[in-house]
Amino acid sequence: MKKLLGAAAVCALTVGLVAAPGASAVKAPKQVGGTVSVSVTPSTVSAATPTTLTASGNVASNSGCRKNRTVHFAYVGATGPDLSGTTVTTGSNGNYSVSLPQPTTATTPASVTLQVTVDAATRKVGSKKKGQKPKKGRQFHCAALTGSFSPITVNP
């Protein structure tokens, strides 16, 4: 009888040690995708008359990955200007708007594409209530996004 009780105790201890690490393991961050949209006004510009373009759009993703995302802009197929320093941060609903200089090209007429890139971000969701122990929280990895606007026409 003592052998049976001893064997049962050893089995219970072994099962407890195997199950315990899996129960306390931290989950990996959830991967969250999305899309970015952009529209530009005006879509046709004249090389002779400098015009400021307005680019606006939305980052569509889950609620934690829409707000406070950094958006970068670049002209594809243009000789200038360099937009590497032009960034904007999305609002709480994912909307953004920015004024951009007109693209320049070596020849006219030409078509230029505005490319939009959104940086990746890691977000943590948890309790921020006073007097309560902070939650460990779930983490979300918001993926980098890329989008582009149909060609902007540059006329002579």
Q: What pLDDT does 150 receive? A: 79
Which has the higher per-residue pLDDT, 120 or 21?
Answer: 120
Q: Say if residue 5's pLDDT is above 90.
A: no
Q: Say if residue 11's pLDDT is above 90.
A: no
Residue 12 falls in which region: left (phi positive, over 0), alpha (psi -120 to 50) or beta: alpha
Measured CA distances, 152 to 67, 80, 103, 142 (Å): 28, 14, 9, 30
Q: Which fold has domain 27-155?
A: Immunoglobulin-like (2.60.40)
Q: Are 95 and 68 in contact (CB under 8 A)?
A: no
Calculate the average pLDDT of the chain: 83
Give me the helices (H) in the chain, please: 2-24, 63-66
Query: At a CB cut-off of 8 Å and minimum separation 6, what does 115 contact?
Result: 73, 74, 75, 76, 146, 147, 148
Q: Say if residue 127's pLDDT is above 80.
A: no
Mean pLDDT of all residues in 17-34: 68
Give the integer Cα–Cα distance in Å for 1 and 117: 71
Confidence bin at 15 (pLDDT 50/70/90):
low
Confidence bin at 35 (pLDDT 50/70/90):
very high
Measured CA distances, 10 to 4, 13, 20, 43, 109 (Å): 10, 5, 15, 75, 82
Among 5-9, 18-22, 58-62, 149-153, name the most confident range: 58-62
